[in-house]
């Protein structure tokens, strides 16, 4: 019987996964709107009464999360696993230091232990096995081709004839099978009676799984970039940053200074917390302007080093679809003389070559991403006083312009 509307059998599974993701990642930000009362009757009367005076019957609920500044990696660590999952599931903030994106090291570790206890393999182990087999197939095929060529050359040198077929069988991907290690004849057959007398290990029951793996220590933490951390601190007010030496909470002013001072090569947190910011071309400020701009417009912005760019833009998040846009941050000095006195070596300040642009554009067009050059204008130090850098209000003096670059492919763009 055919599927209705031409749907394939796999669509049911993908639809269930999509519905589960919509439920798990239903909050785009850590902040949640909650009703003042759980009682529907009381909430209805409160809505009618408070609505007359222009008040809302909902309140903003924000999580209380603690993070530790790590100057070495220029990031903020969230070590509590529940807080880490809250930030990831409510806006996809940060990444697991032992994972590709979502902090899932503990669950993958438990699944690996369960698979080994049951005599199976995890998905990662199956992947590595397939890669090893693919590599072995290429080596066997190259070896067979070399033997066939050598046999043909020897025949031509001896008889002067060109062989149409050789005795060497060149393996193909459809017929090749990996060689398995077999016991030698001297070893003899295994002792069946001895194996029968070996008691079998009792397999754990499903209800006992949680008890068996409760002692597994979670070695992973969530790693936030300085831009993500300051966005959560300044705009969301849901993250408290701790001093890595004294473990005391830092004020917004000290965080603002530390995040700028961390880009200096001789950064020492105990000395840098009281240093007055003095540069508008600080890398933290430039990249935070970009992060805040796109995040406030509803985009999920993640690191794009995998595709040779600065950032990737997702409509909803990495679990729903691939990124559609790849950003390259290009700082532009309003006053070119400010660059001469700058202690920072900013990237993409100089005009880039066409070969570089073509390379980056081709890499991203192959993965169906649109390249965007994001130009950030750095305000002139002569126009603004240094006191403007004492608070985040100085971010309003930066401006952003976008230039979309598309690779012309004649075979695809005839229509």
Cα gap 61→86, rounded to integer Å: 13
**Which tokens go with 120?**
């199976």
Q: What are phi and psi of 368, to 5 degrees?
A: 60, 45
pLDDT at residue 231, as a whole number: 97
Cα gap 327→4, rounded to integer Å: 41
pLDDT at residue 190, as a whole number: 45
Q: Is the entire prediction scored with pTM above 0.85? A: no
pLDDT at residue 187, as a whole number: 45
pLDDT at residue 409, as a whole number: 73
CB 346 within 8 A of CB 279: no
Catalytic entry in 95, 288, 369, 398: 369
Cα gap 11→247, rounded to integer Å: 50
CA nearest neighbour of 398 among 375, 382, 372, 415: 375
Cα angle for residues 226, 222, 208 (degrees, 5° grid):
170
Q: Are strands 325-333 and 370-378 parallel, antiparallel or unpaired?
A: parallel
The string of DSSP letters for 64-105 reads -EEEEEETTTTEEEE--HHHHHHHHHTT--SEETTSSSS--H
pLDDT at residue 199, as a whole number: 45
Question: 4: buried, middle or exposed (CB in 10 Å: 19+, 13-18, 0-12)?
Answer: exposed
Listed in sequence order, the DSSP H helices in 281-400 are 283-296, 337-340, 354-366
Q: 3-61: per-residue pLDDT in tens?
A: 444 555 556 667 888 899 999 999 999 998 777 666 665 555 555 555 555 555 678 88
Catalytic entry in 288, 314, 333, 398: 314
Question: 350: buried, middle or exposed (CB in 10 Å: 19+, 13-18, 0-12)?
Answer: exposed
Q: Which residues contact 375 (CB under 8 A, 6 or more apart)?
A: 330, 331, 332, 400, 401, 402, 403
pLDDT at residue 85, as a whole number: 94
Cα gap 197→276, rounded to integer Å: 77
pLDDT at residue 60, as a whole number: 83
List the chain pLDDT tens, one digit each, 415 residues.
444 445 555 566 678 888 999 999 999 999 987 776 666 655 555 555 555 555 556 788 889 999 999 988 899 999 999 999 999 999 999 999 999 899 988 888 888 888 877 777 777 778 888 899 899 999 998 998 898 888 888 888 888 888 778 888 888 888 888 876 544 444 444 444 444 444 444 555 555 555 666 778 888 999 999 999 999 999 999 999 998 888 899 999 999 998 998 887 666 555 555 567 778 999 999 999 999 999 999 999 999 999 999 999 999 999 999 999 999 999 999 999 999 988 888 999 998 898 999 999 999 988 999 999 999 999 999 988 878 888 899 999 999 999 999 877 777 766 6
Q: What are phi and psi of 141, to 5 degrees?
A: -70, -40
Cα gap 209→69, rounded to integer Å: 36
Q: Are strands 222-225 and 95-96 parallel, antiparallel or unpaired?
A: antiparallel
CB 141 within 8 A of CB 178: no
| Total residue count of the chain as it appears in this document | 415
314 has catalytic annotation: yes
Secondary structure (3-state) at 18: helix
CA nearest neighbour of 67 among 253, 251, 244, 241: 241
End-to-end CA distance of the chain: 38
Cα gap 140→143, rounded to integer Å: 5
* Spacing of C-alpha 197 from chain mean position: 51
CB 286 within 8 A of CB 262: no
């Amino acid at each position: 019987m055919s599927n209705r509307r031409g749907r394939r059998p796999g669509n049911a599974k993908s639809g269930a996964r999509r519905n589960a993701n919509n439920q798990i990642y239903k909050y785009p930000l850590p902040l949640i709107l909650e009703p003042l009362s759980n009682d529907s009757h009381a909430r209805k009367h409160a809505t009618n009464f408070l609505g007359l005076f222009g008040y809302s019957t909902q309140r903003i609920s924000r999580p209380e999360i603690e993070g530790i500044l790590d100057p070495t990696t220029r990031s903020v660590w969230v070590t509590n696993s529940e807080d880490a999952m809250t930030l990831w599931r409510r806006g996809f903030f940060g990444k697991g230091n032992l994972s590709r994106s979502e902090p899932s090291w503990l669950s993958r570790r438990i699944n690996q232990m369960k698979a080994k206890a049951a005599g199976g393999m995890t998905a990662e182990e199956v992947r590595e096995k397939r890669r090893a087999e693919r590599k072995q197939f290429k080596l066997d095929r190259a070896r067979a081709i070399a033997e066939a060529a050598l046999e043909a050359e020897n025949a031509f040198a001896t008889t002067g004839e060109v062989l149409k077929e050789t005795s060497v069988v060149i393996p193909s991907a459809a017929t090749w099978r990996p060689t398995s290690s077999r016991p030698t004849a001297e070893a003899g057959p295994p002792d069946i009676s001895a194996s029968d007398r070996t008691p079998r290990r009792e397999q754990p029951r499903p209800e006992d799984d949680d008890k068996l793996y409760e002692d597994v220590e979670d070695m992973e933490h969530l790693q936030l970039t300085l831009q993500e951390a300051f966005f959560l601190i300044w705009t969301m007010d849901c993250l408290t940053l701790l001093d890595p030496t004294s473990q005391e909470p830092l004020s917004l002013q000290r965080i603002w200074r530390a995040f700028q001072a961390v880009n200096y090569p001789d950064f020492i947190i105990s000395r840098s917390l009281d240093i007055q910011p003095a540069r508008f071309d600080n890398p933290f400020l430039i990249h935070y302007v970009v992060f805040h701009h796109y995040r406030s417009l509803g985009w999920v912005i993640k690191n794009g080093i995998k595709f040779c760019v600065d950032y990737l833009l997702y409509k909803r998040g990495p679990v729903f679809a691939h990124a559609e846009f790849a950003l390259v941050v290009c700082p532009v000095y309003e006053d070119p003389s400010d660059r001469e006195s700058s202690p920072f070596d900013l990237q993409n300040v100089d005009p880039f070559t066409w070969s570089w642009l073509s390379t980056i554009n081709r890499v991203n067009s192959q993965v169906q991403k649109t390249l965007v050059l994001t130009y950030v204008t750095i305000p002139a130090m002569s126009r603004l006083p240094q006191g403007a850098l004492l608070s985040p209000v100085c971010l309003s003096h930066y401006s952003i312009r976008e230039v979309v670059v598309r690779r012309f492919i004649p075979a695809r763009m005839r229509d």
